[in-house]
Structure 1
Amino acid sequence: MGTILSKKQMSEEDIKLQYITPSITSKWNRAKITMETRITDGKINLKGNFVFREKPKRADYVLYLSANNPIAIVEAKDNTHSISHGLQQAIAYAKMLDLPFAYSSNGDGFAEHDFLTGQEREFGLDEFPTEQELIERYKKESGITPQQEVAIEQPYYSSQNTYPPRYYQRIAINRTVDAIARGQQRLLLVMATGTGKTYTAFQIVYRMLQSGLKRKILYLADRNILVDQSIQQDFAPLEKVIHKINVTKDDKSTITSHEVYFSLYQQLVGDDDKEHFSELFLPDFFDLIIVDECHRGSAKEESRWRRILEYFKSATQIGMTATPKETKYISNLSYFGEPIYTYSLKEGIEDGFLAPFKVINIMTDIGEGWRPRKGQRDINGMEIPDRIYTSSDYDYNIIIEDRIQQVAEEITKYLKSTDRMAKTIVFCASEDAALRMRNALANLNQDMMQQNPDYVVRITGGDDYGKSKLKYFISVAEPYPVIATTSKLLSTGADCKMTKLIVLDEMIGSMTEFKQIIGRGTRLREKEGKTHFVVMDFRNVTRLFADPDWDGPIEMDENYHPKDPNGYGKADPVQPGVIKEPPASYGIQKPIVDRNGCKVQIIHKTVSVYDTNGKLLRQESIVDYTKENIQGEYASLDNFIRQWSAHEKKEEIRDLLHDRGIDLELLKADQNMSDVDDFDFICHVAFDKKPLTRKERANNVKKRDFFSKYSGVAREVLEALLDKYMNTGIYEIEKTEILKLDPFFKLGKPAKIAGYFGGKQGYLKAVKELEKAIYEEVVS
């Protein structure tokens, strides 16, 4: 018996089942084939107030050399397409997955693209290369050495609790292992914050130890919390062979017995500038050194890790960073060379592994400038130097108390309208500004402080209490602290997975620091309810998104001056006007201006949604966005009123706007108009009509004597419905289920109540008339 369908009628799934799968499985071991392989998680989209995921990318077939080495991809199409129709897509996926071979098929034959030779060809259905043929071709064309073969064959570490590497982690691991096997000594990996750099490093270390290519490994970081986090989490499977270096306690005769060593650079080169590493280890002791976050720090820190790396120069050295751009302090590019792999923030958001974000820009009326009155004095009676102060002065050179108050009020208002337990980091200009901000937020959130005094905490380098709370703040399980005010401590490294709101109230001078700060929010925790985050910007820092460096190519910085020890040289080119806060020892007292001396108002808010390139998808005041969408849907006020009256269920209009990302309830709350009907709110926002409250509308119905034509129970029912409308709005009274609720159920079952109106149709007609009366003065 032939097939039920002709080939041209078959779906892609049929073609796979009948033709493509049999021709591949006749040549390949089934254990080395996966189908419908999920590559990405599907980008998370933000639409107004809504969040939804796009479909993940999937590959029809992936063929493997070994568990961690996919070698080819096959893209299937139905038979109405040509053999090579899916080849472009297969090539795109193969490039993304770093595979040497791409194939497409429509069930008549295969088209092949070979990345190693650049050749393309087509062949018959029964000529698909066997496993052995393809592996031989791969080895020959790529010129693989025996040492590379050994490294390739080492599997990843896997267990019940370890997830298999995502595609980009696999590429980063494989390219690194391969480069080391080829003898490359200096390597740079660039991976955006939140994409699992430490996990990637762990897999590299594990495979190096397993294959015997490296036996003694040093992992360098610059924060204790990063070292401890790494040892306890990603590196936990190697705990038996790990040692955390402690120069005061370690004995050089016994320290050599471990395999993986963790250390802070600051430990290995003491504050006394002594080279402790040379007291403990010989120069050729380590085979491999990994430098975590190698972009970070000042010239002083840089010289520290440079000295360590130069001492152990015979070791293979890997630099890992999220932000490879050079600054005037650090040139990791000139040291480690070009990255062997880059996975950017942009790609992470596109693939759905990182959280997207929107930006709320908030302007105060003094943002562009404030000038004191002639002879104006501050709260201490000191005369305020006469000049124009701008955003780069507030909290740096002058303290305007009401500005701090307004910022704190905006943050509080936002959290109250969304989620008061959303983890929030407020970046302030200085430790002092972080304390003022903490106090202002504490006063505005007394109800939350009453539940837990750690609702808002200052977490800065100089605040011991705050520092002791850092581990609770970054914990996914611990609810408190909710809001952390900080000046620099949280801009890098500390892994705050649940951060949903980042507030920028400090001037940021460099793109590197800006990327690091944005990186604090990019981690996704969908199960715990975090799908995206919001950046609230009071200093117009987010204009840096428009900078070509945002996620652009890596480039050398002309102003790279490694000999600038304190960073009080010229500001980064990004922001020429930034006034750096002078060190406290300068003895300059800042003027403090209270509300009587300078009253501050918020004058403008815009909400922007950026795409993954940091390009503006749209920018709108939420009200304008709503207005535009409503006007697009309903050309005129009359048209809208007609549609509203004609709709059987008014909810459909609300749902239509919902799909556009407009949440009327949230908007009304924001405008203090919760007591207004959606109908009035739409007329007000889109067509500038003066809104009536629901109470005013209900009273108008009573005044018109609408109820006189009804009597007895029927009248009672309609009066109760009008009451319901006044309290909850129109949608509730349109539902017949309402009759099962208080106060109606006292009058009998729904069928009995309908009987007072002559049956169900009569009841529905009476409700329609009531609705008409509610909106009457507009319709007439």
Structure 2
Amino acid sequence: MTPELRARQLIDQRLMEAGWQVQDYRTLNLGASAGVAVREYPTDTGPADYVLFVDRHAVGVIEAKRDEAGENITVAEDQTSRYANATLKWRSSDLPLPFLFEATGQIIRFTDGRDPVPRSREIFHFFRPQQLAEWLAEPAQPNTLRRRLAQQMPDLPAQNLRDCQVGAVTGLEESLALAKPRALIHMATGAGKTFTAITAMYRLLKFAGARRILFLVDTRNLGQQAHQEFMAYTPPDDARKFTELYNVQRLASASIDPHAQVCISTIQRMYSILSGEPMDDSAEDISLSEVRQTGKQQKLVRYNPQVPIETFDFIVIDECHRSIYNLWKQVLDYFDAFLVGLTATPDKRTFGFFNENIVAEYTYEQSVADGVNVGYDVWEIETEVTRAGAELKAREWVDHRDRATRAKRWAETEEDTLYTGKELDRSVVNPSQIRQVILAMKTAVETQIFPARQETPKTLIFAKTDSHADDIIHCVREVYGQGNAFCRKVTYSEKEADSVLQAFRNDYHPRIAVTVDMIATGTDVKPLEVLLFMRDVRSKGYYEQMKGRGVRSLSADKLRSVSASADGAKTRFVLIDAVGVEKSCKTETRSLERKPGQSLKDLLQGVALGHRDDDTVLSLANRLVRLARLLDAKQQARIEKHSGGAPVSELGRALIAALNPDAIQQAALAAAQAAGITRSADTLTQQEITAARNARVAAACAAFDKPELRDEIESIRREREQIIDHVNLDTVNFSGYSGQAETQAQQTVQAFRDYIAAHKDEIAALSFFYAQPYQRRALTFDMIEELHEALSRPPLMLTTERLWSAYARVQQAQVQGAGIRRQLTDLVSLVRFAIGLDGELRPFSEAVDKRYADWIWRHNAKRATAFTPEQMEWLRLMKEHIATSCSIGREDFDYAELASRGGLQKAWAVFGKEIDALMVEMNGELVA
């Protein structure tokens, strides 16, 4: 079968799935169906591949191309347009056909010629004939959604809205007016993201004529919370509630109400609907930040006629964390809808996924300054067992507990058992360790943190597992001498979790709640004043979400309604760290360190002497922000005594804010206006911008003119360094390299990052990591060779060996295998590290080995029988080929060691028909 014929068959199949009847021109029967696709329809410029008829009227054209056309399908747009504007035989109208498609067997692109600025976009499947008929039947033709969005929206009433919420809604509407397909709203936890989203959705439904909007959430609990907010929302221009004006459905099955105008669903349920993968309802109770996607979930989304691609006009993704970038991304690829992300904790992938279209940005620091949120203090608790672990000798009589049933038996240990702090409450439970942490928390809260309180402040404890939560609850009740109501568990496994959570928000009891997952993200408990971490968190974003449970501000009256002895409004919360979570989780979202070879003392002296370049200012800011996290209250007070009351963290943030380009531009405009000069952002001179920048930096640096402040900061740094150097070796990251060699290494790394950012759309290997839809991801050795060739040419001359050496100098602690000879495939690791997908740079072969070991373990765990020794040997050979070639396919069995072992024929004899599925799974697991 030729590629052209194969593509035509797949196009025919997709058309029929969408409800079209496909006919040849010689045998056409336009009365056979409401929607007819006619092949090879004659026009005055030649036969069109397909002409689409709805209710006997020609409405669109499809230009078919063979699959090999791939991404170059856009070159066919001129051809499609020519047919759409041609004269069709027996057609009386001479108006252009409005709906234009280009398609291969794999890709479909669509252009609506009625849009104000017609622009093609990739769609998952063809639209149904009914949808095209509905669009054509809209009044005031042409009146497409994008045309309505481009029109001036009514002014947004500002009452009951914070400034940040007004800016977010306005920014989103401006983005939609330009038909930008993706938009990101970055708002701090507690700033009212859901309220902002509902306001925007109300305006889209009322003024833009949106038909249906999908509101995607992470867990069932957050879906319930969002539904309550929809029911409570009253728009500014109508006295009725949102749910009285529009039908809101919270999906609990695969059925979407045809009358629903807003659907609330977890992304897990929507994936289940579209993939046909059965879903246990309990899957909606676990945050996707807690779930690692494995080979168990490999079904691809497929077309569902009951939920066509045009079902939703907009998809609002609440807390758009890492879950949307992997398997679940297919849900977003499926629908032909604008995507709007809401998050308090974006990372590089978030910005990349939303095309760097940030329509609103409201940081946690801004929210604290505005009184929307409260700041926090960190209190550390460390026990000896937490730090060093312990050892149980053989033949000790101890309890042995079944993890699932909690049943105990009293028995001797069979062997010496040495365990670390990380194994606590998983393989080993030490009741004394839990008791000592709870005792230390109780003493600290009652004597130092909240000494004037008569009752225990509302406290949330994060546990590792469900059984760990039970152990904590029993210990809390014992240590505090309180009954069952005082401390309760709030996890998805508890039948009364919702009622306990409601009481925790509004009632006196419980005073302390213990959770594993249910209150980790998004759930609102404003009276919280203490968070105790008894579990570590690897994900920076998830950790920020967990911290966000305590940031909500609360008035004095409302706080006293649950904590009667509170002496005023909630002004802070305290994070009690019992596992080192603050040290293990770095919270900076970008690297500010530009001069790692210079000491803090030199940076302070340089700023005082007038060295105000960006690198110096940002490096000083970075050191101060990092130092602030290490200081106790007495050390903070010593600095504030000489800084005019400004905390060291505020001194650092002021330096960063001084270099904000938007703020510099506004300052330059204000200065020009004050001088009587008319300027716009486009007409500002470089001299005016530089003057504004220098004025802002000078103001932020003024505090460091005081020698006593510089001396105090350096003195405290030395005190802290002695402790940090003794306990935490991470402080040597920035030592050991200096002078010209270090500068050259930094320049090499920066040149590589700049090249990736500038050429990510031109180099196939970079496109793989940035923007490929889930179902078309593939990385080949040819792509890596293409990238290597581009990098190694003048003027860059960036060979893999040189890049690795540069990273080893600049970020030594994060680079593994610096002394071994590099392979070409190590470029994969370099790119992943440079764009932030990997936190550690290690040789590609080592990364493949680690992923292979994890994959084998998971695969054997779910098989009735493990792989045989012969199968394991073949899998090892396949893994080695992937490590040197980035992928494996049938054709690769003709090369090297695979061929010498019998090639594909032998592999087929060993694995049978499972061989193809194994290759697909290994390519996905070991490379991406």
Normalised by the length of structure 2, the TM-score is: 0.40
Instruction: Determine which structure has greater relative contact order: mean sequence separation of CA pairs < 8 Å that are 6+ residues apart, divided by chain length.
Output: 1
Structure (1/2) with the larger strand percentage:
1
Structure (1/2) with the larger helix percentage:
2
